[in-house]
Amino acid sequence: MKRFLFVALAAFTLLMITACSATTADNNQKKTNMNGNESATSQAPKILRGPNITLVAQKGTQKLSNGVIVPVWTFNGSAPGPEIRVQKGKKIHVTLKNELPAPISIHWHGYPVPNKMDGIPGVTQDAVAPGKSFTYEFVADKAGTYWYHSHQDSVNQVDRGLYGAFIVEDSKEKYDKDYTLMLDEWVTDKNQINEQIKAMTPGTSKKKSGDSGMDGMNMDGMDHGGSTESSSNNHDDGMNMPGNMMVDNMSMYDLYTINGKSGKLVKPLNVKKGDKVRLRFINAGYLPHKIHIHGHNIKVITTDGQPINNPQTVKNRVISIAPGERYDVSFNADNPGKWYIEDHGTAKGTNGMKALINYEGSKATSDQPNASTQLPAINFTDYGSKAKPEFILNQKYDVTYTMNLNAGMNNNGMIYTINGKSFPNTDPIKVKTGDRVKVKLVNHDHMNNHPMHLHGHFFQVLSKNGKPVSGSPLYKDTLNVRPGETYEVAFKADNPGNWMFHCHDLHHANAGMVTEVNYTDFQSNYVPDSANDNKPE
């Protein structure tokens, strides 16, 4: 996976299993040596303004922090890839060119594109083969903060760096500064890697029909059965990972990044006194992050790109951002100095997930990090003001569905289940156009968060643990269901197609926690090519 970094120790190549963007490095590549000499080829993410965009997927290397350089898969030479910005109402054309050794795709996370543009191999399109291109076209008529990433073998390809921000701008919204911060995690601790190597054995198992899990996955995070890269060019051959071995060992992730950089390499956010500032947080990783913005009164103005009604001002509260979620924050730059934005927690990697708000003319940093301090989190079920919602809890619904989330074991190792089944054997939610749909999400898994993501639609959060939402109506596309929690959500079936509904800890999705929303009155003209190596998760 992108979380795997190889470092040479004696005669063996060690694995560095990274949480969200790493891969493997051969000792002969000399990316990092004992003297600390380094070279990196990846660029800083650029901003590309639509409506016509070209994304070229290719290999690169990236310096995450001082002394840590890893190979990555990039869009246009950077990981994250370019930040795409387009004006609301414009039709966007994004041409994906694949110069990688494996097939890929692009999914527009959170954005309700037409079904054939959703980028799901084997469901809406064939994965884009090496050397081939595909153009995504849709009207960007919903302002907000979204992101894009590969949905082909996504547990591995997102980990390698194939993702970026997608911003739809509303000309009516005026800000002096507008910054995007993409959050991610990596593993680099050699002692922990040694422990993992002790637990590993060579050899792959062939996936049986209907089985779920990560069997057949190489230690570099790619199933080479679908790769056209020759072994002479592949520095990662020789070690394979048995199914699901490290799915939930989240303590492995010891280096956290913002926009692909950690610690002092994170670019400061420059402001002037009097500026109206917008910060867009996107979690592209597999861990939730508790973000604290120092020194300012803030408002959380959107969640998953959808506005919060009359958000109140808060200070010294954290925003818990789960995998796949986005939160936009606004504040007035009225407190000159240098102020931290930081993740709160005690994990080793937490210290690297820091950025500085840097006021023009400020010379010294008077602020101090306080990441180990426990601060209350904003509860978004009672944040903002009431307004007329699209749905209410006890109205009549055309379709109801209970999604019991859990974990288990099969012959391939750990699996993650919906109603006791793992994908592709889960029961889909069957709807027809115009249906009002209510889904109950219940997490029976006592160990793991499950950030559930619905493609093609926004849903309204109706209740949490039986208590109705009491603040602003809450519209999202990704919702973190913690152990023991129950949520009820509702959506209107207004975007015909076949849509994924899955956990966005992509290890869990890869190991079975996926179902679909299928429109019974929708007929797709897409027929998967049996020769294509389509892997939607």
Tally the residues of the chain: 537
Instruction: Indicate the pLDDT class of residue 183, thresholds 50, 70 and 90.
Output: very high
Of the listed ranges 199-203, 355-359, 377-381, the least confidently predicted one is 199-203
**What is the C-alpha to C-alpha distance for residues 241 and 245, in angstroms, rounded to an integer?**
7
194 pLDDT higher than 90: no
3-state secondary structure of 340: strand
Q: Are 95 and 508 within 8 A, CB to CB? A: no
Mean of all residue pLDDT scores within the chain? 84
Per-residue pLDDT tens digits for 257-302: 999 999 999 999 999 999 999 999 999 999 999 999 999 999 999 9
pLDDT at residue number 340: 97
User: Comparing 405 with 220, which gets the higher pLDDT?
Assistant: 405
Instruction: Give me the mean pLDDT over the 432-456 stretch.
Output: 97
Which of 326, 323, 537, 345 lies closest to 450, judged by CA?
323
- Percent of the chain, pLDDT > 70? 81
Instruction: Give me the mean pLDDT over the 139-162 stretch.
Output: 94
> DSSP states of 386-401 as a string?
----S--TTS--SEEE
State the pTM of this model: 0.85
**What is the side-by-side order of every strand in the sheet holding 177-186?**
255-258, 177-186, 276-283, 326-332, 299-303, 306-307
351 pLDDT higher than 50: yes
pLDDT at residue number 36: 35
Instruction: Give me the mean pLDDT over the 150-173 stretch.
Output: 94
Q: Are 260 and 78 within 8 A, CB to CB? A: yes
Rama region for 127: left / alpha / beta (φ>0; ψ in -120 to 50; rest): beta
pLDDT at residue number 532: 87
Of all helices (H) and strands (E), which one includes residue 172? none
Instruction: Indicate the pLDDT class of residue 12, thresholds 50, 70 and 90.
Output: very low
238 pLDDT higher than 80: no
C-alpha triplet 163, 147, 157: angle, nearest 5°:
25
**What is the C-alpha to C-alpha distance for residues 272 and 401, in angstroms, rounded to an integer?**
50
User: Comparing 21 with 360, which gets the higher pLDDT?
Assistant: 360
pLDDT at residue number 71: 85
pLDDT at residue number 348: 86
What tokens were used for 158? Answer: 């997102």
**What is the C-alpha to C-alpha distance for residues 5 and 16, in angstroms, rounded to an integer?**
4
**What is the C-alpha to C-alpha distance for residues 98 and 94, in angstroms, rounded to an integer?**
13
HSE of 266, CA atoms in CB hemisphere, 13 A? 26
